[in-house]
Amino acid sequence: MKKKMAAVFLAGILTSSFLLTGCGNSTADNSSASSSSSASSASASGDLLEQIQSKGEIVVAMEGTWAPWTYHDEDDNLVGYDVEVAQQIAEKLGVKATFVEGEWDGLLAGIDSGRYDIMVNGVDITEERAEKYSFSDPYAYNRTAVIVNSANDEIQSMEDLDGKSTANTISSTYAEVAEKYGATVTGVDDLEQTFELLLSGRIDATLNAEVTYYDYMKAHPDAEIKIACLDPESTKVGIPMKKGDETKTLLEAVNKALGELAEDGTLTELSEKYFGTDISKEAAE
CATH number of the domain at 250, please.
3.40.190.10
Q: Same domain, yes or no, for 146 and 215?
A: yes
Residues 119, 185, single domain; the answer is no
Q: With respect to residue 123, please indicate whether it lies within any of the assigned structural domains.
A: yes
Same domain, 67 and 128: yes
pTM of the model: 0.70
Q: Are residue 73 and residue 199 in the same domain, yes or no?
A: no
Secondary structure of residue 132 in the 3-state scheme: helix
Listed in sequence order, the residues at least 6 apart from 94 whose beta carbon sits closer than 8 Å to its beta carbon are 53
Tell me: do 154 and 222 sit in the same domain.
yes
If you average pLDDT over residues 92-98, what whole number do you get? 98
Does position 142 have pLDDT exceeding 90, yes or no?
Answer: no
Domain around 205: 142-235
State the average pLDDT over residues 171-189. 91
In a domain, 43, yes or no: no
Count of domains for the chain = 2
User: What is the chain's Cα-based Rg?
Assistant: 27
Least confidently predicted of 37-51, 56-70, 128-142: 37-51
Q: What band does 190 get if pLDDT is binned at 50, 70 and 90?
A: confident
